[in-house]
Amino acid sequence: MKRVMKICAVALPVLALATAPLSADVKTKDRSQFKLEGMLGRMINIFGGKAAKEGIVGTTAVKGNRKATLNESTGQIVDLSEEKVYDLDMKKKTYTVMTFEEIRRRMREEAERAKQEADKAEKEGKEQPEPQPEQPAKELDVDFDVKETGQKKQIAGYDTREVVLTATVREKGKTLEDGGGLVMTTNEWLGPVIPEMKELAEFELKYAKQLAGPEAVAAAQQLAAAIAMFPLMKDAMARMQKDSAKLQGTPLESTTVFEAVKSKEQLAQAQQQQSSGGSGGIGGMLARKMMKREEPKARGTIVTLHNEYLEVSKSVDASDLAIPPDFKQKK
C-alpha cells in the first residue's frame, strides 16, 4: 500500500512537469522527521538523539544544471553539465566524486549480480520438489477520501489551507472494523502554486533521464507492465489522478500517518494473550515494561512522516552550490 500511494502521490505531479524546461532558481530550507512507533520506535528515540526527536533540517538549492542538498551531517551536489556527483561528509569536511559513467557501471554490475543470483536460485529451485500451490490472496479494496478542512495558516511566508487525504485498504466485502486493514492519512497544507518549486522535481527528472538514458525507457515500460498485472494499482492511480484536481497548490507542509487496523478476530486474540500474561522470561518482562501494559487497541500507528518547508527563496548564490573551500577530497 505504501509503495502504491507513493507512486500515486509523486508520479502524477511529476509526470505533469516532464516537458517543462529548467528555467528558474530556487532554494529551500525544510525539516523532515520519521517517527516509528512501538518498542523499536521508543528505542530509536532514546538513542537517536536530537535528529530523532526534532527532525532533520536541511537545505536544497537548484540553479541551472546544478543541485545541492545539505544537512548538518551529509550533503550531495549533482552537476548535470559535468556529469558528476559530489558526496559530502559535513562533519569530517571531506567529499568524494563519482562520474555518471561510474554510477552507470555500478548499476550495470548490480543488475548483472541480481540476474546471476536469480539464475542460481532458479537452478536450485528446479532441483527441489515442486512447491505446493499457495492459498489465493485475499481481494482488497482501496477507498479514497479528500476533504478541505477550512483551516488556514502561514508557512514560509505563504498563506496555506489544509487538505486531508485518507486511503483505506480493507478486505473486499468487509468493513475495516470487521476485516482489519491499513489506513494512510495525509494532512497537507497547500499554498499558492509556486513555479520555482517545480524546479526541484524537474531537476530530478532531467537527472534520471541523463543518468539512465535508454535504460529509463525500459524501466518505464516495466512499470507499465507491472501496473497492468496489478489492477488495484492501476485503479488507485486513476482515482488519485481524478481527485488531484482538488489539490491545486504547492504542498508546504505534510504529515502522513500509517495505521494498522486489527480485525475483530485479531483484537480478541490480542486481548486474550494479554490477559494470560503474554510471553514469559526476561524478554517478555522487558517488552511488557516498555509497552506499559497498554490495553490492546483495534487501531495502532505504525509510522509518522512529517515534512515542512521553513523557507522558500528565489535567489541562489554560487556558494549555495559549491563545495566549501575547507573541504578536502577523499580519494
**CA-CA distance, 5 to 113, in Å (whole number)?**
30
| More confidently predicted of 204 and 124 | 204
The pLDDT of residue 7 is 36
Closest C-alpha among 77, 50, 51 to residue 65: 77
Cα separation values, 271 from 138, 276, 328, Å? 25, 9, 58
144 close to 239: Cβ distance less than 8 angstroms: yes
The pLDDT of residue 245 is 56
- Residue 204 DSSP SS3: helix
The pLDDT of residue 27 is 96
The pLDDT of residue 14 is 39
**CA-CA distance, 290 to 325, in Å (whole number)?**
47
Query: 129-173 pLDDT, tens per residue?
Result: 555 555 556 788 888 889 999 999 999 999 999 999 888 888 888
**CA-CA distance, 52 to 113, in Å (whole number)?**
35
DSSP for 261-323 reads E--HHHHHHHHHHHHTT-S-HHHHHHHHHHTTTPPP-SEEEEEEEEEEEEEEES---GGGGSP
**CA-CA distance, 146 to 166, in Å (whole number)?**
7
Query: 275-300 pLDDT, tens per residue?
Result: 765 544 545 555 555 445 567 788 88
Cα separation values, 200 from 20, 166, 205, 307, Å? 12, 26, 9, 15
Cα separation values, 69 from 10, 76, 100, 305, 309, Å? 19, 5, 18, 19, 14
The pLDDT of residue 176 is 87
Q: What is the mean pLDDT of residues 260-271?
A: 83
**CA-CA distance, 301 to 103, in Å (whole number)?**
38
Q: Which cell goes with 194? A: 509556486
User: For cell 515542512, what's the residue?
Assistant: 308
The pLDDT of residue 293 is 56
Q: Say how many C-beta atoms besides its own lie within 10 A of residue 234's C-beta.
A: 15
Q: What is the mean pLDDT of residues 97-125?
A: 85
pLDDT of 218 strictly over 70: no
**CA-CA distance, 19 to 35, in Å (whole number)?**
36
**CA-CA distance, 203 to 26, in Å (whole number)?**
11
Burial class (CB in 10 A: 0-12, 13-18, 19+), 19: exposed
Query: 6-53 pLDDT, tens per residue?
Result: 334 333 343 333 344 445 799 999 999 888 775 555 554 544 555 556
Q: What is the mean pLDDT of residues 108-116?
A: 84
State the pLDDT confidence band at 242, using cuts at 50, 70 and 90. Answer: low
- Residue 175 DSSP SS3: coil
Q: What is the mean pLDDT of residues 65-77?
A: 95
Q: How many residues does the chain have?
A: 331
The pLDDT of residue 205 is 87
State the pLDDT confidence band at 241, using cuts at 50, 70 and 90. Answer: low
94 close to 329: Cβ distance less than 8 angstroms: yes
DSSP for 219-264 reads HHHHHHHHHHH-HHHHHHHHHHHHHGGG--SEEEEEEEEEEEE--H
> pLDDT > 70: what percent of the chain?
68
The pLDDT of residue 238 is 58
User: Mean pLDDT over all residues of the chain?
Assistant: 77
Sign of CA dihedral 200, 204, 209, 210: positive
The pLDDT of residue 21 is 47
The pLDDT of residue 6 is 38
pLDDT of 70 strictly over 60: yes
Domain ranges of the chain: 2-121+138-262+298-313+325-329
Q: Say how many C-beta atoms besides its own lie within 10 A of residue 161's C-beta.
A: 15
The pLDDT of residue 228 is 58
The pLDDT of residue 42 is 55
Q: What is the mean pLDDT of residues 94-101?
A: 96
Backbone angles phi, psi at 326, to 5 degrees: -90, 5
